[in-house]
Amino acid sequence: MADILILNGPNLNMLGVREPEIYGSESLEDIKSRCTKKAQSLAMTIEFKQSNHEGELVEWIQKALGHIKGIIINAAAYTHTSVAIHDALKLHNIPIIEVHLSDPMTREEFRHFSYIEPLAAHVIKGRGASGYSEALEIMKNEISQ
């Protein structure tokens, strides 16, 4: 398995088409190649995945146990609803970085609470696609300590 697991939640497969005024014009494929290049420059390997299904995300988090050094996660809408993803992430004793393209705190109230945040070493929000690159840089420092 790769060093870093990058997980993306529901509707992020629609990036580029989905509310570009909020989420930007890059597709998820664009973000994946941005992450692959960034990781290469930092001498890290990544596995980049997306699912619209909560249980699939939970299973990927479980299967990664003992095989990876860090998790970067944009759980999308599940950020605000999923105790199951929170519990799965809690299995790990490795750095977790939460990423959001937009800043949920400046949006509707139902986006203000995050089930991921209490487990996250860092939260990067409102930085668009470059937030993923920043997350990889921070992760490099986290896992080099």
Pattern 64-93, ligand DQA, x by CB under 6 A: ----------x-xx-x--------------
Q: Is 100 assigned a catalytic role?
A: yes
Is residue 102 close enough to count as binding ligand DQA by CB under 6 A? yes
Q: Is 132 assigned a catalytic role?
A: no
**Closest CB 26 distance from ligand DQA, rounded Å:** 12
Under 8 Å between Cβ of 43 and 2: no
Q: CA-CA distances (angstroms) from residue 20 to 53, 99, 107?
A: 23, 17, 15
Give the residue at shortest CB distance from ligand DQA: 76
Is residue 101 close enough to count as binding ligand DQA by CB under 6 A? yes
Amino acid type, 77: A
Give me the active site residues, please. Answer: 23, 100
